[in-house]
Amino acid sequence: MAQPDQIAGAEAPKTYDRTVCRRTIEHVLMHACRDASFFYKVYTYLHPEMLNLDEEVEYKFIWETMVDYYTANERLPSYTTLNAEVSARLHGASWANDEIIQAAERVVYWMFSLQENPTESLDFDRALTYLQDILYDRKVGQFVRSTVDRAGNCSIPELPTLLDSWQESIRSIRVVNDELFQDSLEDQSERLDEPILPCGVTMLDNYMHGGSHPGEVQAVLGPIGVGKTTLGVQICVKSAQLQHEFEKKTPNSGGISVFFSYEDNLRQLRVRALACAADIDKERLDAVYPNYKLLSTSDSLEDYERAKWRKQLAQHHRVPGEQERKQACEAWMNRHLHLIDFSPSRTYNKSGKGHHGVPEKRTVLDELRRRTNRHIACVVDDHAGVCVRNYLNAAGIPITPQNLITYLGDYISQMANHIAGPFGCPTFVMHQLKGQVLGKSAGSKVHHSDAAWCSMFAEAAQYAFCLSNKDDLHNACMLYCTKSRRSEPHPPQVCQITHFNTLEPAQEYLRLDATTQRIVPKREADRYAGNVSSGSAVPTGQRTKVDVDQMVT
């Protein structure tokens, strides 16, 4: 079938009478099929089910087909593909008559026709206004109408909650226009007048040329169990430690770092944070909790402590034991670190805590700032997928693939608008990678577009960091910076999860074998490959375990 722009002199199919609303939808769809950036915005906000009026059935099928095609292929359909797919779907629907099928074909033709809609005449500002009009009508107008109808028949005890949801919908629609062409139009020059806010984890700060700018949100992605929570807790602890150092120089200048957990409970978080802050083996803390009097002292060091600080011990220096290190950290941790438990294990979740999305986090941070009289220095959100699913459940919205795409696609923008921007703090959002990534080797490259449920999850982030699958022998993985808006991305590096609940660079001890895509000890890579980049493989079965946290401190 010829493309619309290839039909020289052909008369376009006659259009039919349209209402203003129908013209608005057509205009939005036409721009969405012609420009990827605009499609992403519509794809994020406009659910096909919103086109739910009887006279909009062809638009619903067209948009649903475009969304499904993009979800499966991660690219926009051509005219030929879209026309064929829409026609096939409508022919397969027993209720679709010839009039509806022909109407859909006319709309698809009109959307792609360069004769009726030349590229130079595209007006994305107007199309964006039309998108906002549709969203106001479907997310707000229909809500108000249904609420009024219900109020006429009975009382509505949940009305305050419904009004909050209504106001949040209005706020989310208002920011649509601000975010559309952020990637293409944002000034990428160095913002020298803004402060650099380090997170305290050196390898991440190096990727970001010293740290984050105020208001930025960074995405951290990885498969299940690789160490996202470990890295998130480490970011929060190191940031709190930085605030402690600031306060030692200038009294009352230190802020608070906040960790929101939707998976680990408060006990697990405290153990993780203490292990990271005090260099205590996490397994030891788990074993003695809550009787910390069983921890070692400087006179009764554990084997791992003797191995880690053997150089100092050989020089007859006094090495503090677990109890001393714990006591030294607790004071500044209590002042500068706050762990928020939104996990399912908390009994208060029965009352809805942790089920109200990003605005709920904003409320918690406002209260913390008021109560402590300290600024918010860093926020870590672990993780987006659970937060969105909790919100959909509480709001009574079906957890469908399209709803997950819609809400996760907007999640980082919401975090920027509600958290990072208002509080001016570095914000890190954790999220999972697709389940298919679990089948890859530890050395296989991963990308932020592999995000679970929504490939566009990290589109609004300044930086996206991705952890590969874990190499179980060395408890190691690869760290990739797959998105960088302010600098050229650095090469990936090998990292190892230590016994102290931290993710540490391991380039000095471990290497990625280019041929086998396995992480191997550096000495073995050098022995068998000479140079890992040459592609020579380390023989299977010749692997020796290396632990970064056992190296001499």
> In this structure, what DSSP letter does residue 392 have?
H
Query: Hey, is 451 helix, strand or coil?
Result: strand
Report the pLDDT value the prediction gives residue 352, as an integer from 0 to 100: 63
Q: How far is CA 312 from CA 309, 428, 500, in A?
A: 6, 36, 19
Residue 290: the pLDDT is: 86
Residues of the chain predicted below pLDDT 50: 1-18, 178-192, 347-349, 530-543, 551-553
pTM over 0.85, yes/no:
no
What integer pLDDT is reported at residue 126 of this predicted model? 86
Helix (H, G, I), strand (E, B) or coil at 397: coil
202-279+324-493, superfamily in CATH?
P-loop containing nucleotide triphosphate hydrolases (3.40.50.300)
Average of per-residue pLDDT values in the chain: 80
What is the tens place of the pLDDT at every residue in 200-218? 898 999 889 889 988 899 9
Q: Nearest CA to 471 among 510, 501, 508, 436?
A: 510
Instruction: Give the bridge partners for 430, in sequence order.
Output: 220
Spans of all domains in the chain:
4-182, 202-279+324-493
For 257-269, write each residue's pLDDT tens digit.
Answer: 999 999 999 999 9
Architecture of domain 4-182 in CATH? Orthogonal Bundle (1.10)
Expressed in percent and rounded to 5, the helix, strand and coil fractions of the chain are 50, 10, 35
